[in-house]
Amino acid sequence: MTFIEAIILGLLQGLTEFLPVSSSAHLRIVGEFLPSAADPGATFTAITQIGTELAVIIYFRREIGRIIGKWFRHFSKRSGIARGDADVRLGWIVIIGTIPIVVVGYLAQDAIRDTFRNLWLVAVVLIVFGILLWLADWLGRRSRELERMTYRHGIWIGLAQMLALVPGVSRSGATTSMGLALGYTRPAAARFAFLLAIPAVLGSGLYELVTAVREGSTGPFGYAETAVATVVAFLVGWLVIAFLMRYIQTKSFLPFVIYRIALGVAIMVLLAAGLLRAA
Protein backbone atom coordinates (compact mmCIF):
# COMPACT_ATOMS: atom_id res chain seq x y z
CA MET A 1 0.00 0.00 0.00
CA THR A 2 1.33 3.44 -0.95
CA PHE A 3 2.09 6.63 0.93
CA ILE A 4 -0.80 8.30 -0.92
CA GLU A 5 -3.22 5.72 0.48
CA ALA A 6 -1.73 6.16 3.95
CA ILE A 7 -2.15 9.95 3.72
CA ILE A 8 -5.77 9.56 2.60
CA LEU A 9 -6.53 7.26 5.55
CA GLY A 10 -4.66 9.52 7.98
CA LEU A 11 -6.69 12.48 6.73
CA LEU A 12 -9.87 10.46 7.17
CA GLN A 13 -8.84 9.40 10.68
CA GLY A 14 -8.26 13.01 11.69
CA LEU A 15 -11.53 14.17 10.16
CA THR A 16 -13.75 11.50 11.71
CA GLU A 17 -12.17 10.55 15.06
CA PHE A 18 -13.88 13.29 17.04
CA LEU A 19 -17.07 13.67 15.05
CA PRO A 20 -19.80 11.18 16.10
CA VAL A 21 -19.56 9.23 12.82
CA SER A 22 -16.98 6.50 13.66
CA SER A 23 -13.44 6.85 12.32
CA SER A 24 -12.83 3.09 12.39
CA ALA A 25 -15.90 2.52 10.19
CA HIS A 26 -14.70 5.09 7.67
CA LEU A 27 -11.22 3.59 7.48
CA ARG A 28 -12.75 0.13 7.08
CA ILE A 29 -15.06 1.29 4.26
CA VAL A 30 -12.70 3.59 2.36
CA GLY A 31 -9.97 0.95 2.44
CA GLU A 32 -12.14 -1.15 0.13
CA PHE A 33 -12.18 1.61 -2.51
CA LEU A 34 -8.46 2.37 -2.54
CA PRO A 35 -6.28 0.81 -5.30
CA SER A 36 -5.10 -1.90 -2.91
CA ALA A 37 -8.75 -2.68 -1.96
CA ALA A 38 -7.81 -3.92 1.50
CA ASP A 39 -9.01 -3.43 5.08
CA PRO A 40 -6.35 -1.23 6.80
CA GLY A 41 -6.86 -3.40 9.87
CA ALA A 42 -7.33 -2.81 13.60
CA THR A 43 -3.58 -2.37 14.18
CA PHE A 44 -3.18 0.47 11.68
CA THR A 45 -6.37 2.14 12.96
CA ALA A 46 -5.25 1.98 16.61
CA ILE A 47 -1.77 3.33 15.87
CA THR A 48 -3.06 6.30 13.85
CA GLN A 49 -5.35 7.12 16.77
CA ILE A 50 -2.22 7.94 18.77
CA GLY A 51 -1.94 10.99 16.55
CA THR A 52 -5.49 12.15 17.17
CA GLU A 53 -5.18 11.63 20.93
CA LEU A 54 -2.00 13.72 20.98
CA ALA A 55 -4.11 16.44 19.38
CA VAL A 56 -6.59 16.11 22.28
CA ILE A 57 -3.81 16.36 24.85
CA ILE A 58 -2.40 19.51 23.27
CA TYR A 59 -5.80 21.16 22.76
CA PHE A 60 -6.96 20.48 26.34
CA ARG A 61 -3.46 20.68 27.87
CA ARG A 62 -4.36 23.23 30.56
CA GLU A 63 -7.44 21.33 31.72
CA ILE A 64 -5.63 18.00 31.62
CA GLY A 65 -2.62 19.44 33.46
CA ARG A 66 -4.85 20.89 36.17
CA ILE A 67 -6.76 17.62 36.66
CA ILE A 68 -3.61 15.47 36.79
CA GLY A 69 -1.82 17.92 39.08
CA LYS A 70 -4.68 18.09 41.57
CA TRP A 71 -5.26 14.34 41.42
CA PHE A 72 -1.67 13.61 42.46
CA ARG A 73 -1.46 16.41 45.02
CA HIS A 74 -4.69 15.47 46.79
CA PHE A 75 -2.93 12.40 48.29
CA SER A 76 -0.86 14.81 50.38
CA LYS A 77 -2.67 16.24 53.40
CA ARG A 78 -0.53 19.36 53.19
CA SER A 79 -1.88 20.22 49.72
CA GLY A 80 -5.24 21.32 51.09
CA ILE A 81 -6.99 19.72 48.13
CA ALA A 82 -10.08 17.80 49.23
CA ARG A 83 -10.97 14.40 47.77
CA GLY A 84 -14.30 15.91 46.77
CA ASP A 85 -12.64 18.59 44.63
CA ALA A 86 -14.26 18.64 41.17
CA ASP A 87 -10.96 18.06 39.33
CA VAL A 88 -9.90 15.26 41.67
CA ARG A 89 -13.28 13.58 41.27
CA LEU A 90 -13.02 13.94 37.50
CA GLY A 91 -9.60 12.29 37.55
CA TRP A 92 -10.99 9.31 39.45
CA ILE A 93 -14.02 9.13 37.14
CA VAL A 94 -11.79 8.96 34.05
CA ILE A 95 -9.80 6.11 35.65
CA ILE A 96 -12.93 4.18 36.66
CA GLY A 97 -14.71 4.88 33.38
CA THR A 98 -11.76 3.49 31.40
CA ILE A 99 -11.90 0.05 33.06
CA PRO A 100 -14.81 -1.43 30.98
CA ILE A 101 -13.18 -0.81 27.58
CA VAL A 102 -9.79 -2.04 28.81
CA VAL A 103 -11.21 -5.31 30.12
CA VAL A 104 -13.46 -6.05 27.13
CA GLY A 105 -10.83 -4.82 24.66
CA TYR A 106 -8.30 -7.25 26.08
CA LEU A 107 -10.70 -10.21 26.23
CA ALA A 108 -12.30 -9.66 22.82
CA GLN A 109 -9.18 -9.22 20.67
CA ASP A 110 -10.19 -11.84 18.10
CA ALA A 111 -13.66 -10.37 17.64
CA ILE A 112 -12.26 -6.83 17.36
CA ARG A 113 -9.87 -7.88 14.59
CA ASP A 114 -12.36 -10.02 12.69
CA THR A 115 -16.07 -10.34 13.56
CA PHE A 116 -16.66 -6.70 14.52
CA ARG A 117 -15.24 -5.50 11.18
CA ASN A 118 -17.96 -7.14 9.08
CA LEU A 119 -19.51 -4.35 6.99
CA TRP A 120 -23.09 -5.58 7.53
CA LEU A 121 -22.56 -5.08 11.25
CA VAL A 122 -20.88 -1.72 10.66
CA ALA A 123 -23.85 -0.52 8.56
CA VAL A 124 -26.40 -1.58 11.17
CA VAL A 125 -24.65 0.08 14.11
CA LEU A 126 -24.09 3.27 12.11
CA ILE A 127 -27.85 3.58 11.73
CA VAL A 128 -28.86 2.36 15.20
CA PHE A 129 -26.40 4.51 17.12
CA GLY A 130 -27.17 7.47 14.87
CA ILE A 131 -30.81 7.23 15.96
CA LEU A 132 -29.73 6.90 19.62
CA LEU A 133 -27.58 10.04 19.28
CA TRP A 134 -30.56 11.92 17.86
CA LEU A 135 -32.85 10.78 20.68
CA ALA A 136 -30.29 11.67 23.36
CA ASP A 137 -29.70 15.10 21.84
CA TRP A 138 -33.42 15.75 21.43
CA LEU A 139 -34.68 14.43 24.77
CA GLY A 140 -31.71 15.20 27.05
CA ARG A 141 -32.16 18.04 29.54
CA ARG A 142 -28.72 19.53 28.68
CA SER A 143 -28.47 21.32 32.05
CA ARG A 144 -25.57 19.62 33.88
CA GLU A 145 -22.00 20.89 33.55
CA LEU A 146 -18.88 18.74 33.70
CA GLU A 147 -18.05 19.90 37.23
CA ARG A 148 -21.20 18.08 38.41
CA MET A 149 -20.14 14.72 36.93
CA THR A 150 -20.84 11.87 39.35
CA TYR A 151 -19.13 8.48 39.68
CA ARG A 152 -22.32 6.69 38.65
CA HIS A 153 -22.60 8.77 35.50
CA GLY A 154 -18.92 8.22 34.76
CA ILE A 155 -19.43 4.45 34.89
CA TRP A 156 -22.41 4.64 32.52
CA ILE A 157 -20.42 6.73 30.05
CA GLY A 158 -17.51 4.31 30.42
CA LEU A 159 -19.82 1.42 29.51
CA ALA A 160 -20.96 3.40 26.46
CA GLN A 161 -17.34 3.90 25.42
CA MET A 162 -16.85 0.13 25.58
CA LEU A 163 -19.38 -0.28 22.74
CA ALA A 164 -17.06 1.70 20.45
CA LEU A 165 -14.94 -1.44 20.04
CA VAL A 166 -17.41 -2.18 17.23
CA PRO A 167 -16.58 -0.05 14.13
CA GLY A 168 -19.57 2.13 13.33
CA VAL A 169 -20.58 2.84 16.92
CA SER A 170 -18.17 5.82 17.28
CA ARG A 171 -16.36 6.38 20.55
CA SER A 172 -17.21 10.08 20.66
CA GLY A 173 -20.77 9.37 19.50
CA ALA A 174 -21.45 6.69 22.12
CA THR A 175 -19.97 8.61 25.06
CA THR A 176 -21.52 11.91 24.01
CA SER A 177 -24.91 10.26 23.55
CA MET A 178 -24.75 8.81 27.05
CA GLY A 179 -23.67 12.15 28.46
CA LEU A 180 -26.59 13.89 26.76
CA ALA A 181 -29.01 11.20 27.95
CA LEU A 182 -27.79 11.78 31.52
CA GLY A 183 -28.59 15.49 31.24
CA TYR A 184 -25.20 17.08 30.46
CA THR A 185 -24.81 20.01 28.07
CA ARG A 186 -23.38 19.32 24.62
CA PRO A 187 -20.01 20.96 25.41
CA ALA A 188 -19.78 19.12 28.77
CA ALA A 189 -20.62 15.76 27.20
CA ALA A 190 -18.10 16.32 24.41
CA ARG A 191 -15.33 17.48 26.75
CA PHE A 192 -15.73 14.42 28.95
CA ALA A 193 -15.79 12.19 25.87
CA PHE A 194 -12.41 13.67 24.88
CA LEU A 195 -10.92 13.24 28.36
CA LEU A 196 -12.25 9.71 28.83
CA ALA A 197 -10.82 8.59 25.48
CA ILE A 198 -7.22 9.57 26.26
CA PRO A 199 -6.09 6.62 28.43
CA ALA A 200 -8.06 4.00 26.47
CA VAL A 201 -7.07 5.16 22.99
CA LEU A 202 -3.45 5.92 23.84
CA GLY A 203 -3.17 2.59 25.68
CA SER A 204 -4.66 0.70 22.73
CA GLY A 205 -2.47 2.50 20.22
CA LEU A 206 0.73 1.94 22.17
CA TYR A 207 -0.17 -1.71 22.76
CA GLU A 208 -0.74 -2.23 19.03
CA LEU A 209 2.46 -0.36 18.22
CA VAL A 210 4.54 -2.54 20.55
CA THR A 211 2.83 -5.66 19.19
CA ALA A 212 3.48 -4.55 15.60
CA VAL A 213 7.17 -3.95 16.31
CA ARG A 214 7.47 -7.29 18.07
CA GLU A 215 5.75 -9.16 15.25
CA GLY A 216 7.38 -7.11 12.50
CA SER A 217 4.12 -5.99 10.85
CA THR A 218 1.60 -3.17 11.13
CA GLY A 219 -0.78 -4.87 8.71
CA PRO A 220 -1.14 -3.83 5.06
CA PHE A 221 1.01 -0.72 5.66
CA GLY A 222 4.69 -0.51 6.49
CA TYR A 223 6.12 1.44 9.44
CA ALA A 224 6.87 4.55 7.37
CA GLU A 225 3.39 4.75 5.84
CA THR A 226 1.76 4.21 9.23
CA ALA A 227 3.92 6.98 10.75
CA VAL A 228 2.93 9.41 7.98
CA ALA A 229 -0.76 8.59 8.45
CA THR A 230 -0.41 9.18 12.21
CA VAL A 231 1.16 12.62 11.71
CA VAL A 232 -1.56 13.60 9.22
CA ALA A 233 -4.24 12.40 11.67
CA PHE A 234 -2.70 14.55 14.41
CA LEU A 235 -2.70 17.75 12.34
CA VAL A 236 -6.20 17.31 10.96
CA GLY A 237 -7.56 16.10 14.30
CA TRP A 238 -6.45 19.27 16.08
CA LEU A 239 -8.39 21.40 13.59
CA VAL A 240 -11.49 19.21 13.90
CA ILE A 241 -11.50 19.50 17.72
CA ALA A 242 -11.44 23.29 17.45
CA PHE A 243 -14.30 23.20 14.94
CA LEU A 244 -16.45 20.78 16.94
CA MET A 245 -16.13 22.63 20.25
CA ARG A 246 -17.29 25.84 18.55
CA TYR A 247 -20.04 24.10 16.58
CA ILE A 248 -21.78 22.42 19.53
CA GLN A 249 -22.03 25.68 21.47
CA THR A 250 -25.08 26.60 19.42
CA LYS A 251 -25.93 23.71 17.09
CA SER A 252 -27.30 20.16 17.43
CA PHE A 253 -25.89 16.80 16.31
CA LEU A 254 -28.69 16.31 13.75
CA PRO A 255 -26.44 16.70 10.64
CA PHE A 256 -24.21 13.89 11.93
CA VAL A 257 -27.27 11.73 12.62
CA ILE A 258 -28.51 12.17 9.05
CA TYR A 259 -25.03 11.42 7.69
CA ARG A 260 -24.72 8.23 9.77
CA ILE A 261 -28.08 6.90 8.61
CA ALA A 262 -27.37 7.76 4.97
CA LEU A 263 -23.94 6.11 5.14
CA GLY A 264 -25.33 2.99 6.78
CA VAL A 265 -28.04 2.65 4.12
CA ALA A 266 -25.47 3.27 1.34
CA ILE A 267 -23.22 0.51 2.68
CA MET A 268 -26.14 -1.93 2.77
CA VAL A 269 -27.03 -1.10 -0.84
CA LEU A 270 -23.42 -1.57 -1.99
CA LEU A 271 -23.17 -4.86 -0.10
CA ALA A 272 -26.43 -6.14 -1.54
CA ALA A 273 -25.28 -5.16 -5.04
CA GLY A 274 -22.00 -7.00 -4.57
CA LEU A 275 -19.94 -3.81 -4.90
CA LEU A 276 -18.53 -4.17 -1.36
CA ARG A 277 -17.20 -7.21 0.45
CA ALA A 278 -18.67 -7.73 3.90
CA ALA A 279 -15.51 -9.27 5.37
Task: Decide if 277 is inside a domain.
Answer: no
From residue 249, how far is each of 199, 252, 258 by CA, in Å? 26, 9, 19
Position 275: which residue type?
Answer: L
Q: Which residues contact 75 (CB under 8 A, 6 or more apart)?
A: none
- Among candidates 63, 68, 52, which has minimal Cα distance to 201? 52
Looking at the structure of the chain, the number of domains it has is 1
Range of the domain at 191: 3-272
Residue 184 pairs in a beta bridge with 144
**pLDDT, position 183:** 96
* Helix 151-162 × helix 171-181 angle, to 10°: 150
Is the full-model pTM beyond 0.75?
Answer: yes
pLDDT digits (tens, 9 = 90+) for 178-237: 999 999 999 999 999 999 999 999 998 998 899 888 888 777 888 899 999 999 999 999
pLDDT > 70: percent of the chain: 99
* Domain assignment of residue 62, yes or no: yes
pLDDT tens-digit readout, 61-86: 999 999 999 999 999 888 888 878 99
CB atoms within 10 A of CB 37: 9
Q: Is residue 12 part of a domain?
A: yes
Q: What are phi and psi of 184, to 5 degrees?
A: -85, 155
Evaluate whether residue 278 is within a structural domain: no
Element (H, E) at 64: helix 61-73
CA distance 244 to 87: 23
